[in-house]
Amino acid sequence: MDFKQFIRTIPDHPKPGILFRDVTTLMANAEALKHAIDAMAAPFRAQKIDQVAGIDARGFILGGALSVELGAGFTALRKPGKLPWQTYREEYELEYGTDELHMHTDAIKPGDKVLLVDDLIATGGTAGAGLNLLQRAEADVIAAVFLVDLPDLGGANRLRQQGVDVHSLMEFEGH
């Protein structure tokens, strides 16, 4: 399936010169979403995955579906103030400031085999913060998987340099 046909591109959002890749149009199409989840799960079906860690918020949609497909639990990597228990916290840089991801301290057991999931990887700041949280919990991060990679921004390569196997269903040049 040509997944790119289901991605809406919005020029000059959130600022001039940016081509925003809107994955909600793929998620709104039941057949495309089913095929995307199947394709994202395929490389990991033969592996024992204990947890799928999804990044707030579209990573929750994909991660929840992948956890069901792979027979794994789901761990939420959330924005500040959203998790009611003790958390690990990881701050990361954005082009306009900083943000944080949080994860419950008891969400991952040491040695758990974990798949990190989000909708899109650009610069890798958010995914890198998620990776750091999982490593702090002593997870064995099997791979990171995304619907979309924007290779010009280098995020997937940054994760690879940290020893993470990175998968994506499609790439869009430029940003």
Percentage of the chain lying above the pLDDT 90 cut: 93
Q: Mean pLDDT for the chain?
A: 96
Q: Which domains does the chain have, with CATH numbers?
A: 47-171 (3.40.50.2020)
pLDDT, tens digit, 9 for 90 and up, residues 108-147: 999 999 999 999 999 999 999 999 999 999 999 999 999 9
- The pLDDT of residue 72 is 98
What sign does the CA torsion over 106, 164, 35, 170 have? positive
Q: DSSP per residue over 68-137, as a string? A: HHHT-EEEEEB-TT---S-EEEEEEEETTEEEEEEEETTSS-TT-EEEEEEEEESSSHHHHHHHHHHHHT
In this prediction, residue 150 carries a pLDDT of: 96
Each residue of 15-34: pLDDT tens digit?
899 999 999 999 999 999 99
Q: Provide the pLDDT confidence category of residue 14 given band limits of 50, 70 and 90.
A: confident
Question: What pLDDT score was predicted for residue 88?
Answer: 97
Lowest-confidence range among 20-34, 91-105, 156-170? Answer: 91-105
Q: What tens digit of pLDDT does each residue of 30-62 get?
A: 999 999 999 999 999 999 999 999 999 999 999
**pLDDT of amino acid 5:** 98
Please report the pLDDT score of residue 174 as a whole number.
74
User: How sure is the predictor about 94, in pLDDT bands with cuts at 50, 70 and 90?
Assistant: confident
